[in-house]
Amino acid sequence: MSYARSIWKNGPNRYPRRVRLDILALVAFLTLIASAVGGGLFVDGVGASSPSHSEKSALLQAPLAGNDWRMAGYGPADTHFNPEATINVSNAGQLIMKFGSNPGCGGNGVPAVVGGTVYDGGANGLCAIDSGNGGPNWSALYGDQIPGPAVVNGTVYAGDLTRVRFSGFNATTGAKVFTNKAVGGLIGAPRVANGVAYAGGGSWVYAFNAVTGAVKWAYATGGTTVSSPAVANGVVYAGSSDGKLYAIQANGSGALWIYSTGGTMVSSPAVANGVVYVNANDGKLYAFNAATGVPLWAHAINVDGLTTPAVGNGKVFAGSSDGKLYVFNASTGVLLWTFTSGGYVNSPAVGGGVVYASSSDGNLYALDLTGRFGCSGTVPRTCNPLWKSGLHTIRGVPYDPVISHGTVYVTDSFGTIYAFGLRKIQVVERYQAGGKFLVPGATDTSTATCNAGEVAVGGGYVAVRAGTSTADDAVSVGWNEASPDGATNPTQWTVTLTNNDSVNNVTFGARILCLS
């Protein structure tokens, strides 16, 4: 029979003082650690066991709260704004690449992220991958150009530029649910709202039954409807190559209003707080009253009309072919700040007080949307990024980014889907290999060490004594206060034990709690 004694020392006063942990929720994590191991000290008696690695990992991993990004512009209003804040101004600089996965569907897509799956379209068809590790789930590769899917109520909706059709797929299996060959080419990615899918094709704006794929109605514009429509408050907003913005009633009863801009309209509109924002290739960003079509303001920003503005936190964000990201007051149109990249800036995404913008210079950038951090000068200020992906991280030209459940996803021109997120934080136990053996009266020291990239947040020891006695005075311990408190080595925990038993031997080893 043997007596096992397992001791931890940890808690809020035991984490390394000199080690900077780049973790926003450090206090919360230390609280979790204390609760996981009993707080302060715990003793495992005879027959008891410590929490397993998997149990501690499950208990101490930070849950990634957030929202699904169901279609190219987040929702049917196409604001490119996700209200989640897992990634925010305080931690955006710590983003790392989680994976780069090329499932074979080709480039040119803007992904949707729903229920742990990333759905993306491209030059070869439609693909679904695991949102956590990039592993393949399914693919529908027909050699068709899919501009970007929408995923709602278990169905993946996709337009097809090659075979000129609109299709629905089972989101879990990839099996085709329906196909409808439309009158014109479906160029824009679909938007889905209230059981109806909307898409532009040829010179038409279509409304499809979201269950059957049947055409409910079609509205003819005076040009080609290259852009995807935006849908808000019972109105469908779509631009056309005739330079007009159309506000079409979602019930199919006709146009509510039409406004002519000074150039071809390829940009998808964005609708927020009763205002429609849209770029035109006359070089201007426009804002209209969504109900009446009355222009509220317009600003020349050298856009070519290809990108969709993002709207959030009282601001409008517009990428431009001149290499700049422009940020405006959404109500007044006043230019607040700009950022200059090394190439064409695509449609941005906004969430957690951060705006993400990809550029043809090969980088994905994260910036403080308020124009405070990393910015200088007077309004309009000049801003620098909080973070960028770095040269050669993204192999091709990145397209529009999306944000979902604490991860930023972007597809490049080679069809690789990249995921950037915060380092997954978990606590693991590590021990000294082999342990130490103490004869009666002997004293020795044991050291446990965290792996590279980990830091110690607590430590202890495990001691096993031969014999039948269960007296607590079998060993006496001397804690080495130099570690992990930071004076010597913040990745180690050292313990010195003396065997006080005059008869029985003791085997012991240091034990360390590592944050990774």
Output the CA angle 286-291-292, nearest 5 degrees. 70
Output the CA angle 435-437-440, nearest 5 degrees. 150
> What is the β-pairing status of strands 381-383 and 335-340?
parallel
How deeply is 439 buried, as exposed, middle or buried, from its count of CB atoms within 10 A (0-12, 13-18, 19+)? Answer: exposed
Using CA of residue 252, residue 255, residue 256, residue 260, what is the dihedral sign? positive
For 384-405, what is the mean pLDDT? 90
- What span, in angstroms and rounded, lies between the C-alpha atoms of 501 and 496? 16
As given in the structure block, the two tokens for residue 9 are: 């020392």
- What span, in angstroms and rounded, lies between the C-alpha atoms of 513 and 425? 13
Predicted confidence band of residue 33 (pLDDT cuts 50, 70, 90): very low
Query: What's the Cα-to-Cα distance from 101 to each of 84, 117, 347, 461, rounded to whole Å?
Result: 24, 13, 22, 42
For 29, the enclosing helix (H) or strand (E) is: helix 26-36
Predicted confidence band of residue 172 (pLDDT cuts 50, 70, 90): very high
- What span, in angstroms and rounded, lies between the C-alpha atoms of 75 and 7? 52
- Report yes or no: 459 and 448 within 8 Å, Cβ to Cβ: yes
172 versus 487: the higher-pLDDT residue is 172
- Report yes or no: 271 and 230 within 8 Å, Cβ to Cβ: yes
- What span, in angstroms and rounded, lies between the C-alpha atoms of 10 and 28? 14
497 versus 323: the higher-pLDDT residue is 323
60 φ/ψ angles, rounded to the nearest 5 degrees: -105, -5
455 versus 194: the higher-pLDDT residue is 194
Work out the mean pLDDT of the chain and round it to a whole number.
81
- Report yes or no: 414 and 102 within 8 Å, Cβ to Cβ: yes
User: How many helices (DSSP H) and strands (DSSP E) are in the chain?
Assistant: 2, 42
pLDDT (0 to 100) of residue 57: 32
Is the pLDDT score of 18 beyond 60? no
Output the CA angle 165-170-171, nearest 5 degrees. 110
- Report yes or no: 487 and 424 within 8 Å, Cβ to Cβ: no
Reduce the DSSP state of residue 56 to 3 states and report it: helix
- Report yes or no: 72 and 148 within 8 Å, Cβ to Cβ: yes
Predicted confidence band of residue 65 (pLDDT cuts 50, 70, 90): low
Q: Tens digits of per-residue pLDDT, 334-381?
A: 999 999 999 999 999 999 999 999 999 999 999 999 999 999 999 999
Is the pLDDT score of 138 beyond 60? yes
Predicted confidence band of residue 489 (pLDDT cuts 50, 70, 90): low
CB count in 10 Å sphere of residue 246: 26
286 versus 10: the higher-pLDDT residue is 286
In sequence order, the β-bridge partners of residue 499 are 475
- What span, in angstroms and rounded, lies between the C-alpha atoms of 299 and 297? 7
Q: Running DSSP on this structure, what letter comes out for residue 50?
A: P
Reduce the DSSP state of residue 55 to 3 states and report it: helix
